[in-house]
Each structure stands twice: as structure tokens, then as C-alpha cells.
Amino acid sequence: VDAFHFENAINNLLDNAVKYGGQHINIQLIQDNDTFTIEISDNGQSLSKKYKDLIFEKFYRVPKGNTHDVKGFGIGLYYTKTIV
């Protein structure tokens, strides 16, 4: 694991959860033998299906809701998906 990119990926996911996720963020680390899974979830408003794939495209930002109240360029989730 490249520690630099791994840390950036986790930070991007947490940053999105804080920006758009509501009041509660849940982080779980699950071990299955020698495999670890990190799950980050929140209680924010769910995205419609048409946006769920688009949010991983470079520079894409959902055109409604609080996305334009929050600063960003739309590259965090793209970068994170590329790393993972």
C-alpha cells in the first residue's frame, strides 16, 4: 500500500462525508483473515441513481442541493476512485 495515496483516499472520503453527509458519520474497519475493509457511511440525503456514477467523473459536481454552498472542484472522488 502506498501510504501517501492511501491517506489521501481516506481523507477525501471523510471530507465528502463531512461536507455532504449530515450529522452522523460512521467509520468501520472490518478484518477478514488478512484482508481489511474500511466502510465510511453517513446519514446525509441520498443521491438519486443518475448521480451515483457521475460523482466519480473528473470535475463533476451534483447541480443541486448544497454542493454549490461547499467549495470544491469535483476531483476528490475521481482521484479516490483512481487510487483505489
How many structural domains are present in the chain? 1
CA distance 62 to 35: 33
State the cell numbers at 60. Answer: 463533476
Q: Which amino acid is at 36?
A: F
pLDDT at 66: 58
Instruction: Report pLDDT digits (tens) over 6-43.
Output: 999 999 999 988 888 888 999 999 999 999 999 999 88
DSSP 33-71: TTEEEEEEEE-SPPPPHHHHTGGGSTT---SSGGGGTS-
pTM: 0.78
> Domain span at residue 58?
3-83
Contact 67, 20 (CB under 8 A): yes
Q: What is the CATH number of the domain that holds 10?
A: 3.30.565.10
CA distance 74 to 69: 13
State the cell numbers at 68. Answer: 454549490
pLDDT at position 59 over 80: yes
pLDDT at 71: 77
